[in-house]
């Protein structure tokens, strides 16, 4: 049988890894014949209506022009107002029609080259099965790359191996195919997810996002709260407002190399841009794209146009495919939850100037010993390594005035670029805005 070798495989061969490269070229075809997603059409997991539908593809985003000194940025192939090439996911649930196959759904197929960064925020409920349907649209700018995609829920404790998304032991989704992942989350808290195919490249290119699990205790009135991070029994993890803050990075050369059919040397990795929710300061405090509240039952759904494309916010057209704000807003006296996940390759030290933070969970684990003693702790800086998450509460201080709101800075004190620039230039910095009591109405969706 004739075997074709991809551009990436060919470059690996040229680098001397002949045996490994041949194995890598053959293995996906062998795996596809044994664990082909279409073989599951009769299984109930693949016929249950999905809670969410994601599409994997590529696209363009915008990072601060002139903020880093590298010949690989901005990308000369990028269409205005964008400057950086990415791989990513899109939430295409609103375009899904169970009576039309995904391959024949023209609106979903039309989302090629319209990936977002970071990947869509979504959430599940403890002990409630959740179905996520993934389709692979391929890479429009790179038709020579035939990469499969997966959704790997990082840190998920009770995953069935078949649905894990790690490609050597579970299903990956080839171009033009689809597969439904089934998750039943028994452990509340904050996690992250990413594509696990060519995982260093696909994570760096943007196929990463934040996912969290709401506890079974949610909705009960305990300690004056009805929303909680964990099943605490006493309301110590209760909160009034929540904000998901996903930490990631961009090495400009890697993104340029993928758009220009090159292969970067990953040992040369450096951080050119550090982002919160796919944006750098000062775009971190720009508003969310318009949110479709009715469609936001499991994910913060962004409004789309008649063709299924994300609607840009007037005045922020460069953020069309970076729809999620990092601005934290609250009324004085409210308890606020910040869900941090880090899928950059560097440690972050998130500092909130002037407000004490309380860490109640790490890596989706409630900070309480088996005998019930608390190991919750207070701090002004939360260290979060690559692949880690943290659940952090703070109580908004009294409003001081005279401005409409008081401003406190949340930033990564570890971040400087290779050019020595500080966090505020092109990095992980945002604002916490505290309003007088009663100014903001009750929050119904995270990050709003």
| Alpha carbons 13 and 25: distance in angstroms, whole number | 10
| Alpha carbons 374 and 263: distance in angstroms, whole number | 48
CATH class of 35-435: mainly beta
Write the pLDDT tens digit of every residue in 333-355: 999 999 999 999 999 999 999 99
Q: In what order do the strands lie in the sheet with 122-125?
A: 122-125, 208-214, 189-194, 152-154
Tokens 């079974």 locate to 216
Q: Find the helix or strand (DSSP H, E) in which 46 lies.
A: helix 44-47
Q: In what order do the strands lie in the sheet with 130-136?
A: 84-91, 52-61, 130-136, 178-183
CB atoms within 10 A of CB 288: 19
pLDDT at 33: 36
pLDDT of residue 35 exceeding 60: no
| Alpha carbons 48 and 289: distance in angstroms, whole number | 30
Average pLDDT in the 381-400 region?
Answer: 97
Write the pLDDT tens digit of every residue in 217-233: 999 999 999 999 999 99
Write the pLDDT tens digit of every residue in 133-169: 999 999 999 999 999 999 999 988 877 888 998 988 8
What is the DSSP secondary structure assignment for residue 236, as one 8-state letter? T
**Higher-confidence residue: 305 or 425?**
305
pLDDT at 12: 43
Contact assessment for residue 236 and residue 376, using Cβ atoms and an 8 Å cutoff = yes
Write the pLDDT tens digit of every residue in 398-448: 999 999 999 999 999 987 644 445 555 678 999 999 999 999 999 999 999
Q: Which SS3 state, helix, strand or coil, does residue 186 take?
A: coil
In angstroms, what is the C-alpha Rg of the chain?
Answer: 22
pLDDT at 15: 38
Write the pLDDT tens digit of every residue in 314-339: 999 999 999 999 999 999 999 999 99
Average pLDDT in the 124-132 region?
Answer: 96
| Alpha carbons 194 and 177: distance in angstroms, whole number | 18
Q: Which SS3 state, helix, strand or coil, does residue 340 take?
A: strand
Percentage of the chain surpassing pLDDT 90?
A: 81
Average pLDDT in the 19-37 region?
Answer: 35
Write the pLDDT tens digit of every residue in 168-183: 888 999 999 999 999 9
Contact assessment for residue 48 and residue 60, using Cβ atoms and an 8 Å cutoff = no
Q: How many residues are recorded in the chain?
A: 448
| Alpha carbons 189 and 126: distance in angstroms, whole number | 9
pLDDT of residue 309 exceeding 60: yes
Is the omega angle on the peptide bond into residue 282 within 30 degrees of 0, that is, cis?
Answer: yes
pLDDT at 219: 97
CB atoms within 10 A of CB 86: 25
The contacts of residue 372 (CB under 8 Å, 6+ apart) are none
The contacts of residue 212 (CB under 8 Å, 6+ apart) are 123, 124, 188, 189, 190, 191, 244, 339
pLDDT at 65: 84
pLDDT at 427: 83
C-alpha dihedral sign at 77, 81, 87, 93: negative
Beta strands in 148-234 (DSSP E): 152-154, 178-183, 189-194, 208-214
Per-residue pLDDT band for 36 (boundaries 50, 70, 90) equals: very low
Contact assessment for residue 157 and residue 37, using Cβ atoms and an 8 Å cutoff = no
CA nearest 321: which of 91, 101, 40? 91
Q: What is the dihedral of CA 395, 400, 403, 405, to 10 degrees?
A: 10
Percentage of the chain surpassing pLDDT 70?
A: 87
CA nearest 437: which of 359, 331, 339? 331
Average pLDDT in the 115-129 region?
Answer: 97
Per-residue pLDDT band for 374 (boundaries 50, 70, 90) equals: very high
Q: What are the counts of helices (DSSP H) followed by strands (DSSP E) for the chain?
A: 7, 20
pLDDT of residue 19 exceeding 90: no
pLDDT at 196: 96
pLDDT of residue 22 exceeding 50: no
Domain ranges of the chain: 1-34, 35-435
pLDDT at 69: 80
pLDDT at 67: 67
pLDDT at 414: 87
Per-residue pLDDT band for 34 (boundaries 50, 70, 90) equals: very low
């Amino acid at each position: 049988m004739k075997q074709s070798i991809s551009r990436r495989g060919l470059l690996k061969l040229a680098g001397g890894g002949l045996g490994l490269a041949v194995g890598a070229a053959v293995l996906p075809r062998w795996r596809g014949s044994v664990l082909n997603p279409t073989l599951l059409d009769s299984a109930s997991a693949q016929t249950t209506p999905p809670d969410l539908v994601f599409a994997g593809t590529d696209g363009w985003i915008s990072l601060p022009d002139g903020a880093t000194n590298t010949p690989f940025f901005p990308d000369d192939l990028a269409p205005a107002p964008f400057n950086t090439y990415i791989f990513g996911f899109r939430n295409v649930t609103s375009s899904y029609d169970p009576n039309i196959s995904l391959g024949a759904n023209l609106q979903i197929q039309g989302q090629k080259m319209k990936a977002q960064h970071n990947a869509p925020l979504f959430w599940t409920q403890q002990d409630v099965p959740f179905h996520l349907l993934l389709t692979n649209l391929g890479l429009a700018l790179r038709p020579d790359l035939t990469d499969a995609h997966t959704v790997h829920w990082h840190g998920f404790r009770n995953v069935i191996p078949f649905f894990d998304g790690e490609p050597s032991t579970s299903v990956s989704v080839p171009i033009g195919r689809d597969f439904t992942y089934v998750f039943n989350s028994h452990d509340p808290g904050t996690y992250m997810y990413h594509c696990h195919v060519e995982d260093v490249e696909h994570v760096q290119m943007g196929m990463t996002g934040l996912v969290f699990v709401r506890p079974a205790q949610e909705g009960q009135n305990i300690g004056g709260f009805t929303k909680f991070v964990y099943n605490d029994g006493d309301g110590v993890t209760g909160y009034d407002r929540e904000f998901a803050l996903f930490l990631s990075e961009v090495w400009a050369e890697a993104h340029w190399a993928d758009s220009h059919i090159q292969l970067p040397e990953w040992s040369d990795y450096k951080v050119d841009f550090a982002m919160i929710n796919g944006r750098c300061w000062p775009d971190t405090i720009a508003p969310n794209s318009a949110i479709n509240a009715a469609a936001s039952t499991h994910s913060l759904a962004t409004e789309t146009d008649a063709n299924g494309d994300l609607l840009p916010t007037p005045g922020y057209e460069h953020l069309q495919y970076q729809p999620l704000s990092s601005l934290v807003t609250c009324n004085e006296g409210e308890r606020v939850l910040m869900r941090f996940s880090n899928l950059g390759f560097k440690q972050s030290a998130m500092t909130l100037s002037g407000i004490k933070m309380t860490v109640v969970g790490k890596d989706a684990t409630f900070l309480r010993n088996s005998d019930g003693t608390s190991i919750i702790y207070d701090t002004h800086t939360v260290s979060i390594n690559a692949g880690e998450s943290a659940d952090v509460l703070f109580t908004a201080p009294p409003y001081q005035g005279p401005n409409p709101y008081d401003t406190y800075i949340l930033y990564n004190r570890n971040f400087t670029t290779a050019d020595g620039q500080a966090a505020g230039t092109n990095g992980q910095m945002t604002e916490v805005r505290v309003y007088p009591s009663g100014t903001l109405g009750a929050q119904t969706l995270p990050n709003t």
